[in-house]
Copies of this chain bind each other. A is one copy, B any other.
Amino acid sequence: MKFEALKSEVDVWLNNYFSNKGTYNKKIYEAMKYSIDIGGKRVRPMLHCLTYEMFNENYREVIAVACAIEMIHTYSLIHDDLPCMDDDDLRRGHPTNHKIFGEALAVLAGDGLLNEAMSLMFDYCKDRGKNELLACKIISDSAGAEGMIGGQVVDILSEGKKISYETLSYMHRKKTGELIKASILSGAIIGRASDREIDKLSDFGSKLGLAFQIKDDILDVVGNEEVMGKPVNSDIDNNKTNFISTFGLEDCKNKCRELTKECMNILDDVDRDTLNLKELTKTLLYREK
């Protein structure tokens, strides 16, 4: 299946990248690589590559950017899991980074991955044009204090409090949505999409990001620990407001279905071969883990 092959390519690229790193100081790369290796679905790099591929056949052109996005995502997970944040012991069925390497190294491994991603993107832009720079700026912004970090701050500050729908929605749009949207948008921009296409795909990215988070909240309640690889109901344990605690399970399932349809409709309105993006969207939103 195409997605498996693409995921493998991302895995191989990341594995090669980190295998060649760390001349004197291997420990930090070991910690960085650990969290990259135990990770995940590679949703963001796949979205980036598949969006780019709608405009330009050879997605290998952008695989470095795709992997930089995955590094940013992985850094955020390492820091989110820290004792001073969500204090999680398990991630994807494996001990979290600080459980293996200690807190200090986990902080530094996160820092290292964010930094590495940026270096990779500067390098990528060196022999390219304005579009590439704009795309990397969008990715960088989506990860920053007005993006993912901003969302995590609201999450931390809201712990144990009842928060409004506006705040909940802001938090998830920033914490999860922005980087997902940026993965799509940056792929389109590097692929030289038209303004109309960029608008459409931006809208698609926002809706997919929101649906992805709602789906995550649903699975946090109905999944079982073995399937999810992390303690189920961890949000409830952490006394956190999420979509389920605000709207209830049934409404969330409906909302997720509705958003999935809207995503499909937007893609129908883009005059390109959107089959792969559609398939991936379905895979993500109908997933069971």
A82 touches which of B28, B29, B107 (Cβ 8 Å): B107
A146 and B23 contact, Cβ closer than 8 Å, known pairs A114-B115, A119-B140: yes
- A5-13, A128-136, A201-209: which lies at the B interface? A128-136
Q: Which residues of B contact A108 (CB under 8 A)?
A: 79, 149, 152-153, 156
Q: Using CB atoms, name the residue of chain B closest to A121.
A: B122
Bound complex: CA of A23 vs CA of B140, how far in Å?
A: 18
**Number of copies of chain A assembled together:** 2
Contact with B along A18-30 (1 / 0, CB 8 A): 0001111101110
Is A197's beta carbon under 8 Å from chain B? Answer: no
Instruction: Report the minimal beta-carbon distance from A287 to chain B, rounded to whole angstroms.
Output: 28
Chain A: number of interface residues, binned into ranges: 35 or more
Bound complex: CA of A247 vs CA of B154, how far in Å?
A: 48
Instruction: Report the minimal beta-carbon distance from A159 to chain B, rounded to whole angstroms.
Output: 9
Q: Using CB atoms, name the residue of chain B closest to A159.
A: B104
Q: Which residues of B contact A82 (CB under 8 A)?
A: 104, 107
Q: Using CB atoms, name the residue of chain B closest to A110.
A: B111
Is A177's beta carbon under 8 Å from chain B? Answer: no
Is A103's beta carbon under 8 Å from chain B? Answer: yes
A84 touches which of B21, B104, B122, B156 (Cβ 8 Å): B104
